[in-house]
Structure 1
Amino acid sequence: MFVLGFHLTLRRIVRMKVLLPGMLAMIALLCGMPRVNADSQQSTKSQAAYARFLSQAEQLYAAVNEGKLDVAMARLAALERQFRSLPMQGIATAEGIHALAQSVADMKRTSVALKPDEGKWKAGAAELRLAADELAHPDRPIWHTYRTVFLNDLATLEEAMPLSTALPGPVPESVNAAVGQLVEHYRMIRTAALLHSEPWIVEKADSSVRYATRIVQGETLTPGLLRGIVAPLREAIIGLFPGQKETSGALVPPLPMPPSWGWSAMMGSFIVTVLTWVGWRRYKVEQNTGIGPNKRREPLDEQEDAAEKLLKRWKNKK
């Protein structure tokens, strides 16, 4: 009896050893299922919230471009309510959240102006639509198609540059207009880019745009120094976009581009180009060390106001 009982006990132990891993795996699976289901439900809710936010942004964009400002005001109020209910944990960086909140606030300030600026209305509506689309479609956002727009902007800027053999003098109006146009386009995608990219990538673009704007605002410049702004702009702006083939057909039309002035683009001297690059790097150091403007948004806004004045001046001369 003792031997028989021992064998039965041994068989039970062996059977338990065989069944135990499977039982533990089943328990772990059952315990993990609620967590997986909860995460899936949260993701679905987030996507639904982003889709509603995009819908309001699209309706706002349509109302602004149709000139229906009363409708646009109502759409903006609805968009602000949707913004307050967005799941912010789905946005990767605090900078992205701040940029989106700033875009909504800027649009509200534009809407309550005594004399609404149609250009700011359209630019702000486009900015919000691109940002909302980035949240709803992070894999294929519309703003990625602006890569071609910026390549055209840079080509226009290069064509507008004076010949490298020209004497020092005032900045050509065509260069001012080209830089102003590029700044407008950059402002339009900046919030969407911050929702998508690492902050330092956007900060690099901010620095290059501010530096280029400061250079063209100079009273008298050598052609070589002026031409040197193109390379940093190209590197920083195109660096915002993932590697892809050039595409055309952005669903959000950019602001009208100034006509080409037909000037030949020529390469400046190597020494002047290097000095220009060093100047740009020094300007970045000044920004990072607190010398001069040290806020991310405010310096860009100030330069954009100047660019906007230049664009208006150019339009008045047409």
Structure 2
Amino acid sequence: MRHGRNWIFITLVVLVWTAGWDASSVSGYSEAAVGRADSGQAQSPEVRMQSPVTAEANALKLEQQAETLYGYVTEGNINKARETTDAISRLFVLSSFDGLTSVEGVNALSGAIIDMKAAVAGVSVQQERWETAAARLRLAANSLAHPRQPMWLQYYKLIREDLNDMEQSAAGSDLTGWKTAVSHIEERYDTIRPAIIIARKPEEVNRFDAWLSYAAGLVSGSRPPGREELMNAVSQGREAARVMFGKERDEPALSLPLAPREYGLAGWLGAGFILAALAYTAYRKYRGERSRWQLF
């Protein structure tokens, strides 16, 4: 009987010890789980504190690389130019420019990068093509990074000078000079067009596109344009350029005078009649004033 009680006592001790171990295990597991949860919660604010790269920062970095690329191209450093072009392409793919430009602007920037990649991918080095593509990309990246004062606005003075040359050619009916002036505008505009698309509304860009196409086509038809038609085209070009570059409306400027009109015999007779009528009126007034003074 006493031996049986000992076994009962030992059994109870074992059960109590086992229950204690299970409780400590559960407690330890719970504490570890809570600790891991707390650790995860402690890491999440750190993750949130790592703010993503902003669109403005992406644009500034892209501009910096485009500047570096332009320097390599002008120096003739082919290998560095190709490496930088690839880096720009990767940066563009991985970056977001939301809020900085329109869909058309992003497409224009992408097109400038593709043109640069095509230029550097050629077997032979065409320095002029490289420089033109690098300048186009540089201006586009600058327009994205500095929308308030982009570099492409400096082209306004050059295009105005080309428009003045067009006016000179129109005044002298010099179609060869007209073609040369239009060609200069086309070259300059081709360089800055991606940058303009990034910064301006589509309708402003389309307006200048349409005018430039019209001006170039005026002298390519079978019928030579008249002087007044050319002068009107210059006036339209000035207005389209002013709007696109965001300039205030200029004060009315004197344009080149048109050729004097031929009035013919009827015109001269009419002018003589008017002069005679004015002279007679002046004479009557003079006689009347003289008579009035003679009464005293």
Structure-2 separation of matches of 1:205 and 1:180: 15
Structure-1 separation of matches of 2:122 and 2:70: 18
Aligned to 1:117: 126
Aligned to 2:54: 45
| Matched letter for residue 132 of structure 1 | A
Check whether the contact 1:158–1:230 (CA below 8 A) recurs between aligned residues: yes
Aligned to 2:66: 57
Pairing partner for 2:79 from 26, 48, 70? 70
**How far has the Cα of 1:128 moved from its partner?**
1.0
Higher helix share: 2
Pairing partner for 2:201 from 198, 202, 205? 198
Q: Percent identity?
A: 29
**How far has the Cα of 1:265 moved from its partner?**
4.8
Check whether the contact 2:55–2:100 (CA below 8 A) recurs between aligned residues: no
Check whether the contact 1:161–1:265 (CA below 8 A) recurs between aligned residues: no
Structure-1 separation of matches of 2:259 and 2:190: 29
Query: After superposition, what is the alpha-carbon deviation per residue over 1:131-163, rounded to whole angstroms, capped at 9, x for unaligned?
Result: 111121122211122222221221222223352
Q: Are residues 1:178 and 2:178 paired?
A: no
| Matched letter for residue 104 of structure 1 | I
Pairing partner for 1:81 from 90, 99, 102? 90
Give unpaired runs (5+ residues) of structure 2.
1-47, 261-296
| Matched letter for residue 75 of structure 2 | E
Give unpaired runs (5+ residues) of structure 1.
1-37, 247-263, 270-318
Check whether the contact 1:103–1:127 (CA below 8 A) recurs between aligned residues: yes
Change (3 A) 1:197 1:268: farther
1:20-35 equivalence runs, <5 A: none
Q: Are residues 1:100 and 2:109 paired?
A: yes
Q: Bigger relative contact order, structure 1 or 2, given CA contacts below 8 A and separation 6+?
A: 1
1:131-210 equivalence runs, <5 A: 131-163=140-172, 171-172=175-176, 174-210=177-213
Q: Are residues 1:216 and 2:225 paired?
A: no
Q: Secondary structure at the match of 1:107?
A: helix
Check whether the contact 2:139–2:151 (CA below 8 A) recurs between aligned residues: yes
Q: TM-score, normalised by structure 1?
A: 0.58
Check whether the contact 1:49–1:86 (CA below 8 A) recurs between aligned residues: yes
**How far has the Cα of 1:121 moved from its partner?**
1.9
Q: TM-score, normalised by structure 2?
A: 0.62
Q: Secondary structure at the match of 2:175?
A: coil
Q: Are residues 1:232 and 2:203 paired?
A: no
Structure-2 separation of matches of 1:192 and 1:221: 35
Aligned to 1:304: none
Instruction: Point out the structure with max Rg over C-alpha.
Output: 2
Structure-1 separation of matches of 2:141 and 2:83: 18
